[in-house]
Amino acid sequence: DQTTPNCVIKVHDGTRDYNPKQMAIREKVFNTIIRCFKRHGAETIDTPVFELKETLTGKYGEDSKLIYDLKDQGGELLSLRYDLTVPFARYLAMNKITNIKRYHIAKVYRRDNPAMTRGRYREFYQCDFDIAGQYDAMIPDAECLKIVHEILNELDLGDFRIKVNDRRILDGMFAVCGVPDDKFRTICSTVDKLDKMSWEDVKKEMVNEKGLSEEAADQIGEYVSMQGGMDLAERLLQDHKMSQSKQACAGLSDIKLLFKYLQLFHVTDKVVFDLSLARGLDYYTGVIYEAVLTQASAVSAANEAQNCANAEESVSVGSVAGGGRYDGLVGMFDPKGRRVPCVGVSIGIERIFSIMEQKAEASPEKVRTTEVQIMVASAQKNLLEERLQLISELWNAGIKAEVMYKKNPKLLSQLQYCEEAGIPLVAILGEQELKDGVVKLRVVATREEVDISRADLISEIKRRTEA
Amino acid sequence: DQTTPNCVIKVHDGTRDYNPKQMAIREKVFNTIIRCFKRHGAETIDTPVFELKETLTGKYGEDSKLIYDLKDQGGELLSLRYDLTVPFARYLAMNKITNIKRYHIAKVYRRDNPAMTRGRYREFYQCDFDIAGQYDAMIPDAECLKIVHEILNELDLGDFRIKVNDRRILDGMFAVCGVPDDKFRTICSTVDKLDKMSWEDVKKEMVNEKGLSEEAADQIGEYVSMQGGMDLAERLLQDHKMSQSKQACAGLSDIKLLFKYLQLFHVTDKVVFDLSLARGLDYYTGVIYEAVLTQASAVSAANEAQNCANAEESVSVGSVAGGGRYDGLVGMFDPKGRRVPCVGVSIGIERIFSIMEQKAEASPEKVRTTEVQIMVASAQKNLLEERLQLISELWNAGIKAEVMYKKNPKLLSQLQYCEEAGIPLVAILGEQELKDGVVKLRVVATREEVDISRADLISEIKRRTEA
């Protein structure tokens, strides 16, 4: 029986439908990002939404508990992808690809606590750009930062900063501060909380929960408060403690080189070397970075959403892009452990969407959800056939056109539809026009009407709407 | 330890990665289809990849066993979407939308036996266009067929036919042939096999497996061999048996009206009223249609893939588009059972991909996977900084450009890269050029070289590559 209703109509918690208006905004953002990726010569690939469960095993540390598994219905054990980086590494190893520059835009899945007002969903898009291959140091890394700079500029989201650091600097720092080797990762993930927690609380977690000595914590505290540019990297290379770590020195030299290339790209104004940047994921091996919006308008929007008590004190609104170098991940999939060095960036598109949506809401201009140029209308009854014939001609000429699906629609309701949908032109057919071989072309905004011969109609529509 | 390799590197049976070449073809096909959908004024929406399990329950008849379920990890029971139509109906009911024309392009999931050489995957794209709303008969239905006609023409896949029929004609036919009411659906799904099985085998299934009388089967056999146009609909309206069914008559009158509108759209050359067309899905209530390729080249490709013994006898290569009217589906989700009449079409994109891929393989022209206009190269050593500075200028001017990620790449390897990737231009920097304030612009195809001043470079690149 087709009329028995279901009891609940909803989607899964933490997921959402996108309505046409949201899709129009999404399309605009994607186009900007894809244009940038293509400008930098990237190819694109696609991978299945699920991977074999074992492909994802051991890649995400503690976050593995957030992976969605499929039910065992006989056959292979599957999990929904958690990010696009591990599928990319699997793709490279499986196809023995050692050089590629690719972007991949697709949805990923995390069984996280949804916080949809803050733009945190369980199904969300990632826009990843990665460069794989054995190249000279920091050249592809610098290009990734240039890309972030271009995209955030073009999207016009307000002022931003790109923080950079290096896993080797963090590890070297932990070593010289007296953190035991086996505590590097867990201390690192505590440092990662510095953008949400005060140093006091971070220190407490290190000492009380992770069992670090107070002394070591204090030394870390000094370093992670440091921010600067190439000068800071130079100073730390001279630092009596830091310079004892070979790893840290390698990282610091690369940061210097990175800044040199970023100067050539004219993007150093937005880039800051920040020793508190840690980033959670296990697989990073070198440079890491994260872009945050700093503009007041974005701050207030984010604070409102985050229900933040000390709103005015906040300067950053969380990450809108992040990435880094992961030279070991592809080797994890290769039977012989062959390494393919990789560096990449992921654009945090969901947060960008919500900012763009807020901007659209605040703007007096209506978001159009179609690009229709003209409505084929009739002023009298019994002209359906003539309307269908005309619209068919327009479609065949590549004109975006609509007609009302009624035999005898009222002229007023046809015009109202155009106003609501933002359709700029109406072709009005009437007995007289048909006799004269013309169409009355009406400009919706000005209500101006002019008779156009059927032969000139298409070029006239193009002239008026394809500016 | 990041060097421990996994044992198996593969993707789930019946799914695949798309490499950059396949993605380039896919993008071209999608662009053609989306352009058509937009020309007809469609908005787009998106829905989550999984739905609550209960949303999909009872919508697909026997095919329900092919639904992928997620594991119960606490929380809601979820299934991967099986098509885009049921999520669309759920979306309409949930948001109380009674009028919309939307397209949706996304992947769907079926635990079917994969037959990847025949383009049958477990994860595959659907491209759906649907019109929801209470409108005058057959106007939106005719537009759906016009869309199929436009898309198949534009994709240039060879000759095609669009078969149309109506669920009410099928049901009426079953009634007047003496099929018991409770056997309509199962007999209908047997009729649906006529494109793959001979009438003899279909009849056997009806009589031996489904328990239909031989007499009734023979009567059905007569009808389902009929093909024609508006004339056939008129003849059947006079048919002494068929005309006894009110349902059949309603369907036949609508087929007549449909052909009238299709004549105005000039597409009747490809459309055939075919009483053997059944289509499996439960939810259709009115007009149904299916487009098949008939061209020899496509036939041979498909036959090869299908390992078909009687290759030369085959005329159709299976469906590349299909759809119909489903007036009851939205009501299944509405608590009050309110109906929203819908009609739509789904483009069988996977089969189209594989035909386009075969065409690309056969063509002497290489498929480009990027749109890069120029490579910034150097003729001597130690010019990395100059290359980075120049490419940064080009990127900022919107030029698609690449540079090799080496401090001192050989000129030859830079030129070879261009040849392989199909990059048409090279900007060559050398000591002399830098002194003179020029760039040597090389046309890869002709090896022509010309000095261009730095001030004119961007406009010159655009002139030569943005034809």
Q: Which of A208, A212, A150 is nearest to A185 (CA)?
A: A212
- In a domain? residue B369: no
Asked if residue B305 has pLDDT above 60, the reply is: no
Are A400 and A436 contained in the same domain? yes
The pLDDT score that the predictor gives to residue A296 is 53
Q: What is the pLDDT of residue A299?
A: 46
For residue B448, tell me if it sits in a domain.
yes
B residues 181-220 lying closer than 8 A (beta carbon) to A: none
For residue B54, is it within any domain? yes
Instruction: Check pLDDT > 50 for residue A1.
Output: no
Report CA dihedral (B82, B87, B90, B95) to the nearest 10 degrees.
Answer: 170
pLDDT for B117: 66
**Is the same domain home to B343 and B461?**
no
Question: With an 8 Å Cβ cutoff, are A407 and B136 in contact?
Answer: yes
Min CA distance, B322 vs chain A (Å)? Answer: 21
Does B10 reside within a domain? no
For the segment B376-395, the average pLDDT, to the nearest whole number, is 97
> CA geometry: angle at B317 spanning B192 and B202, to 5°?
30
Tens of pLDDT along A88-108? 999 999 999 999 999 999 999
Residue with tokens 């393989």: B361
A309 pLDDT band (50/70/90 cuts)?
A: very low
Whole-number pLDDT of residue A364: 87
Query: For residues B262 and B142, is the Cβ–Cβ distance under 8 A?
Result: yes
Is the model more confident about B283 or about A85? A85
Is B146 strand, coil or helix? helix
Instruction: Please determine, for residue A210, whether its predicted confidence score (pLDDT) is greater than 60.
Output: yes
pLDDT at A293 over 70: yes
What dihedral angle (degrees, nearest 10) is formed by the CA atoms of B190, B192, B194, B199? 30
Residue A114, pLDDT > 60, answer yes
Most distant pair of Cα atoms in chain A: their distance = 95
Within A95-180, residue ranges assigned H as helices are 139-155, 167-176
What distance in Å separates residue B332's CA from the closest CA in chain A?
A: 5
Mean of pLDDT values over B51-63: 88
Annotated ligand binding at B90? The verdict is no
Which 8-state DSSP code applies to residue A205?
I
- State the Cα–Cα distance between residues A272 and B281, nearest whole angstrom: 58
- Best mutation target among B281, B388, B396 (most A Cβ atoms within 10 Å) is B388
Cα(A60)–Cα(A330) distance, integer angstroms: 14
Q: Do A436 and A409 form a contact (C-beta atoms < 8 A)?
A: no
CATH number at residue A443: 3.40.50.800
Question: Helix, strand, or coil here: A297?
Answer: helix
Judge if A299 and A378 occupy the same domain: no
| Yes or no, beta carbons of B9 and A333 under 8 Å apart | yes
Is B112 in the same domain as B36? yes
pLDDT over 90, % of chain B: 79
Contact residues, chain A, for B7 at CB < 8 Å: 54, 335
* pLDDT for the residue B319: 85
- Which comes out higher in pLDDT, residue B237 or B185? B237
Q: Order the strands of the A342-347 sheet from edge to edge.
A: A43-44, A100-109, A123-132, A342-347, A319-325, A287-293, A160-166, A271-274, A227-228
B166 annotated as belonging to a binding site for a ligand: no
Contact assignment for A400 to B41 by CB distance below 8 Å = yes
Chain A neighbors of B10, CB-CB under 8 A: 52, 94
Instruction: Tell me how many residue pairs between chain A and chain B have CB atoms under 8 A apart.
Output: 283
Count of domains for chain B = 2
- A420-447 mean pLDDT: 96
Q: Considering CB atoms only, which of B40, B48, B389 is closest to A123?
A: B48
In terms of CA atoms, which chain A residue is nearest residue B395?
A: A39
User: Are the C-beta atoms of residues B24 and B355 closer than 8 Å to each other?
Assistant: no
Tokens (6 digits) for A258: 């990175």
Which chain A residues are Cβ-neighbours of B68 within 8 angstroms? 70-71, 73
Q: What's the pLDDT score for residue B408?
A: 96
pLDDT at A5 over 80: no
The answer to whether residue B393 sits within a structural domain is yes
B384 is in an annotated binding site: no
Burial of A360 (0-12, 13-18, 19+ CB in 10 A): middle
Q: What is the mean pLDDT of residues B42-68?
A: 92
- Least CB–CB distance from B9: residue in A71, A94, A133: A94
| pLDDT at residue A313 greater than cutoff 80 | no
Residue B387: closest C-alpha in chain A: A264
Least confident segment among A60-64, A191-195, B316-320: B316-320
* Beta partners for residue B46, in sequence order: A18
Q: What's the rounded Cα separation, in Å, for the pair A281 and B49?
A: 25
| Residue A5 included in any domain | no
Percent of chain B topping pLDDT 70: 93
Query: Which 8-state DSSP code applies to residue B208?
Result: I
Average pLDDT over residues A268-281: 92
Q: Which domain holds residue A399?
A: 374-465
How near does any CA of chain B get to the CA of A462, in Å? 13
Is the Cβ pair B49, A45 closer than 8 Å?
Answer: no
Task: Report the pLDDT averaged over residues B388-405.
Answer: 98
Contact B12 A76 (CB under 8 A): yes
Write down the mean pLDDT value for chain B.
91
Write out the two tokens for B19: 């490499």
CA distances (Å), A375 to each of A147, A430, B37, B454, in order? 41, 14, 16, 48
State the pLDDT at residue B136.
97
- Are A405 and A356 within one domain? no
User: Which of A334, A362, A390 is the last residue before a domain boundary?
Assistant: A362
> Across residues B330-348, what is the average pLDDT?
93
Residues B316/B75, Cβ–Cβ less than 8 Å? no
Residues B230 and B109 in one domain: yes
Average pLDDT over chain A, rounded to an integer:
91
- At B33, phi and psi to the nearest 5? -70, -45
The confidence band for B311, taking pLDDT boundaries of 50, 70 and 90, is: very low
Q: Inter-chain contact A11–B52, Cβ cutoff 8 Å?
A: yes
Residue-wise pLDDT tens digits, A41-53: 999 999 999 999 9
User: Strands B374-378 and B425-429, how do they pair?
Assistant: parallel
Tell me: do B388 and B433 sit in the same domain: yes
- Which of A336, A362, A388 lies at the terminal end of a domain, its last residue? A362
**How many residues appear in chain A?**
467
Q: What is the CATH number of the domain that holds A87?
A: 3.30.930.10
Q: Is B84 annotated as a binding residue?
A: yes
Are B274 and B420 within one domain?
no
Helix (H) or strand (E) holding A104: strand A100-109
- CB-side neighbour CA atoms (13 Å) of B237: 14
Closest CA to B210 of B181, B186, B228: B186
| pLDDT tier at A117, thresholds 50, 70, 90 | low
Out of A307, A331, A362, a domain closes at A362
Has residue A461 got a pLDDT over 50? yes
Distance from CA of A311 to the nearest CA of B (A): 33
CB A323 within 8 A of CB A287: no
**What distance in Å separates the CA atoms of residue A148 and residue A406, rounded to the nearest whole number?**
50
Residue A7's pLDDT is: 56
- Tens-digit pLDDT profile for residues A179-207: 999 999 889 989 988 988 999 999 999 99
Please, which residues 71-130 of chain B have a Cβ atom closer than 8 Å to chain A? 71-73, 75-76, 78, 80, 90-91, 93-95, 100, 102, 107, 109, 111, 123
- Pairwise pLDDT comparison (A351 vs A103), residue with the higher score: A103
Distance from CA of B328 to the nearest CA of A (A): 6
CB atoms A402 and B40 under 8 Å: yes
A296-310, A355-369, B170-184: the lowest-pLDDT one: A296-310
Q: How far is A32 from chain B (nearest CA, A)?
A: 11
- Which residues from A are below 8 Å from B283, CB to CB? 2
Residue B2 pLDDT greater than 50, yes or no: no
Whether B246 shows a pLDDT value over 90: the answer reads yes
- What digits encode the pLDDT tens for the residues B408-445? 999 999 999 999 999 999 999 999 999 999 999 999 99
How many Å apart are CA A333 and CA A327, to the nearest integer? 12
Which of B75, B107, B331 is opposite residue A49, by nearest beta carbon?
B107
d(CA B80, CA B58): 15
pLDDT at B282: 77
Contacts 24+ apart (CB under 8 A), B173-177: B173/B220, B173/B223, B173/B242, B173/B245, B173/B248, B173/B275, B174/B220, B175/B245, B175/B247, B175/B248, B176/B219, B176/B241, B176/B242, B176/B244, B176/B245, B176/B248, B177/B216, B177/B219, B177/B220, B177/B223, B177/B241
Instruction: Report pLDDT for A35.
Output: 98
Of B147, B313, B171, nearest in space to B242 by CA: B171
Once rounded to an integer, what is the mean pLDDT over residues A10-27?
94
How much is the average pLDDT of A130-151?
Answer: 98
Q: Which residues of B touch A142 (CB under 8 A)?
A: 388
Residue carrying structure tokens 């010289």 = A176
Rounded to whole angstroms, the Cα distance separating A417 from A375 reads 9
Q: What percent of chain A has pLDDT over 90?
A: 79
Q: What is the pLDDT of residue B280?
A: 73
Q: What is the largest CA-CA distance in chain B?
A: 94
Q: Which residue of B has its CA nearest to A418?
A: B41
Q: Which residues contact A43 (CB under 8 A, 6 or more apart)?
A: A100, A101, A102, A103, B20, B23, B24, B369, B370
pLDDT exceeds 90 at position B124: yes
Whether A301 shows a pLDDT value over 60: the answer reads no
pLDDT at B118 over 90: no
Task: Clarify whether residues A251 and A393 are in a common domain.
Answer: no
CA distance B68 to B357: 28
Beta strands B374-378 and B401-403 are parallel
Taking only the tens place, the pLDDT of each residue in B180-234 is 999 998 899 899 889 889 999 999 999 999 999 999 999 999 999 999 999 999 9
B330: phi then psi, degrees, rounded to nearest 5: -60, -40
Between the alpha carbon of residue B328 and those of residues A69, B89, B245, B289, B338, the distances in Å are 34, 10, 21, 18, 9
DSSP string computed for A440-460: EEEETTT--EEEEEGGGHHHH
Least confident of A125-129, B129-133, B352-356: B352-356
What DSSP string runs through B348-378? -HHHHHHHHHHHHHHSSSPPPS----EEEEE
| Same domain assignment for residues B231 and B86 | yes
Distance CA(B224)–CA(A346), nearest Å, equals: 56
Q: Is the pLDDT of residue A308 over 50?
A: no
Structure confidence at residue B114 (pLDDT): 76
Residue A14 lies in a domain: no
- Which of A204-213, A457-466, B2-11 is least confident? B2-11
Tell whether A9 is covered by a domain.
no
pLDDT at B7: 56
| Both tokens assigned to A463 | 């002239």
Confidence of residue B317 (pLDDT cuts 50, 70, 90): low
Q: Please tell me the distance from the alpha carbon of residue B94 to that of residue B105, in angstroms, as a whole number.
A: 20
- Residue A264: closest CA among chain B residues belongs to which residue? B389
More confident residue, B48 or A351: B48
Per CB-CB distance under 8 Å, the chain A contacts of B38 are 370-371, 400
- Residues A212, A299: one domain? yes
- Residues B212, B83 within the same domain: yes
